[in-house]
């Protein structure tokens, strides 16, 4: 259960409420977020909660309804206006959640300096501002290419010297977070780590924007609960990403759940983007899924772009060439304009 406290209640009064709850047999957790304070409470075994009318307690503004309690801070009940998540590298800015639709592009993984830089230069030319600078790759088989790891940092450095692109990279544990922290602007949590709650807690304290991808077997609510781990640790800079879920359909690699975009827009104030590449798994589907995502109201699209897709060391079947990326951006800009938005 979540209690929302009155605005402006001093910390002594907040603690008094916690103590009173603890004496009644509740575990309590006080969380401050965006100037509001909540208490999450859980009854110990045998404690009856139904008979207590918390709303009548001094300092309690509201008992949050059960529907929103598990992901209250992420929910539109907590904040009805959309969150604007601004990301900057000091040269470029993008804002997720406003009228701009942000494109993110780059190879599945950084493989070597020449290919990574060529892709970055081509992507920058289209007006795209965010680069997939992936060096730690979570792969299904341990025998597949695992990414360059720490040695990829040198390549990220070169790309930064030659472009003004914002750098996004996936991290899978706190050590990788530390290794990448001085070199990138946004951290990604991949589908396989959406439920890695200890990692989420670390990222919640990392003071850095996070792109949180939906687990391939997770519901929208589970995605919002994962976001709640970040928010409840104090990180408000969270962008959600729909990237396809497992269904009985096996033509696509995953089934892109376009409905999730509309669902998240209703349930949450957080921006939501779509990754058609990992959903499709086949490059011929990328155009239509990217445009469908824009049509559905996504705040961004993330696409895997490789100079020579056939030669990519990972996810080669879904990568598109820089030329095809350019064509999608061109078409997407027309569609975005019709929707009173701008694709950048």
Binding site residues, ligand PEP, CB under 6 A: 108, 134, 138, 170, 190-192, 213, 243, 275, 278
What is the spatial distance between Cα 253 and Cα 108, in angstroms, rounded to a whole number? 15
Q: Where is 105: in which H helix or E strand?
A: strand 100-106
Q: How far, rounded to the nearest angstrom, does the alpha carbon of residue 37 sit from its chain's CA centroid?
A: 24
Neighbours of 227 (CB within 10 A): 27
Question: Which of residues 230 and 312 has its CB atom nearest to Mn ion in the complex?
Answer: 312
Tokens for 187, please give them.
Answer: 């951290």
CB of 314 to Mn ion, least distance (A): 6
Smallest Cα–Cα separation from 106: which of 20, 150, 170? 170
Task: Collapse the DSSP code of 258 into the 3-class scheme (helix H, G, I; strand E, B; otherwise coil) and give the result.
Answer: helix
Instruction: Examine residue 170 and tell whether it contacts Mn ion (CB under 5 A).
Output: no
Q: Near Mn ion by CB under 5 A, which window of 106-114, 154-162, 172-180, 324-332?
A: 106-114
| Beta carbon of residue 194, minimum distance to ligand PEP (angstroms, whole number) | 8
CA gap 168, 184 in Å, rounded: 6
Q: Mark the segment that binds Mn ion (CB under 5 A) among 28-36, 82-90, 101-109, 218-226.
A: 101-109
Q: At what angle do helices 197-204 and 220-232 cross, to 10 degrees?
A: 40
108 binds Mn ion (CB under 5 A): yes
Q: What does 213 bind: Mn ion, ligand PEP, none (CB cut-off 5 to 8 Å by kind)?
A: ligand PEP
Residues 286-325 that bind Mn ion (CB under 5 A): 315
To Mn ion, the closest distance from the beta carbon of 258 in angstroms equals: 20
CA 4 – CA 78 distance, rounded (Å): 9
State the residue number with the nearest CB to Mn ion. 108
Q: Least distance in Å: CB of 278 to Mn ion?
A: 6
- CB 69 within 8 Å of CB 54: no
Angle ∠(309,108,170) on CA atoms, nearest 5: 175
Query: By C-beta, is 127 or 138 nearer to ligand PEP?
Result: 138
* Minimum separation from the CB atom of position 138 to ligand PEP (A): 6
Residue closer to ligand PEP (CB basis): 40 or 212: 212
Do 111 and 148 touch, CB atoms closer than 8 A?
yes
For the chain, the first-to-last Cα distance in angstroms comes to: 41
Q: Which is nearer to Mn ion, 108 or 294 (CB)?
A: 108
Task: By CB under 5 A, tell whether 100 contacts Mn ion.
Answer: no
Q: Which is nearer to Mn ion, 115 or 315 (CB)?
A: 315
Residue number with CB closer to Mn ion (228 or 242):
242
Minimum CB distance to ligand PEP, residue 215 (Å): 9
Q: Which two tokens stand for residue 219?
A: 């519901």
Given the rule CB under 5 A, which residues bind Mn ion? 108, 315
């Amino acid at each position: 259960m979540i209690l929302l406290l009155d605005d402006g209640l001093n910390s002594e009064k907040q603690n008094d409420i916690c103590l009173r709850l603890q004496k009644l047999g509740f575990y309590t957790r006080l969380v401050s977020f965006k100037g509001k304070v909540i208490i999450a409470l859980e009854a110990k075994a045998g404690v009856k909660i139904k008979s207590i009318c918390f709303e009548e307690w001094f300092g309690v503004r509201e008992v949050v309804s059960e529907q929103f309690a598990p992901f209250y801070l992420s929910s539109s009940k907590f904040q009805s206006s959309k969150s604007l998540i601004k990301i900057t590298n000091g040269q470029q800015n993008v804002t997720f959640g406003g009228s701009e639709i942000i494109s993110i592009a780059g190879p599945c993984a950084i493989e070597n300096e020449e290919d990574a830089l060529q892709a970055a230069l081509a992507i920058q030319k289209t007006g795209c501002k965010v680069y997939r600078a992936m060096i730690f790759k979570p792969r299904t088989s341990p025998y597949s290419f695992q990414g360059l790891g720490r040695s990829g940092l040198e390549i990220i450095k070169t790309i930064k010297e030659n472009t003004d692109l914002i750098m996004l990279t996936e991290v899978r544990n706190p050590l990788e977070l530390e290794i990448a922290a001085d070199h990138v602007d946004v951290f990604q949590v991949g589908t396989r780590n959406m439920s890695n709650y200890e990692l989420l807690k670390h990222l919640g304290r990392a003071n850095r924007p996070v792109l949180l991808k939906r687990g391939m077997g997770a519901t929208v609510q589970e995605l919002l609960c994962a976001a709640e781990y970040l928010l409840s640790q104090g990180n408000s800079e969270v962008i959600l990403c729909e990237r396809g879920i497992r269904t009985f359909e096996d033509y696509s690699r995953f089934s892109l759940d376009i409905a999730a975009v509309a669902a998240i827009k209703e349930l949450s104030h957080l921006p939501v983007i779509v990754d058609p590449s990992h959903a499709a798994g086949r490059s011929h589907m990328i155009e239509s899924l990217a445009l469908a995502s824009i049509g559905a109201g996504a705040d961004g699209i993330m696409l895997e772009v490789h100079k020579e897709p056939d030669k990519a060391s990972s996810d080669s079947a879904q990568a598109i060439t820089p030329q095809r990326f350019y064509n999608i951006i061109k078409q997407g800009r027309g569609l975005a304009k019709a929707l009173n938005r701008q694709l950048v």
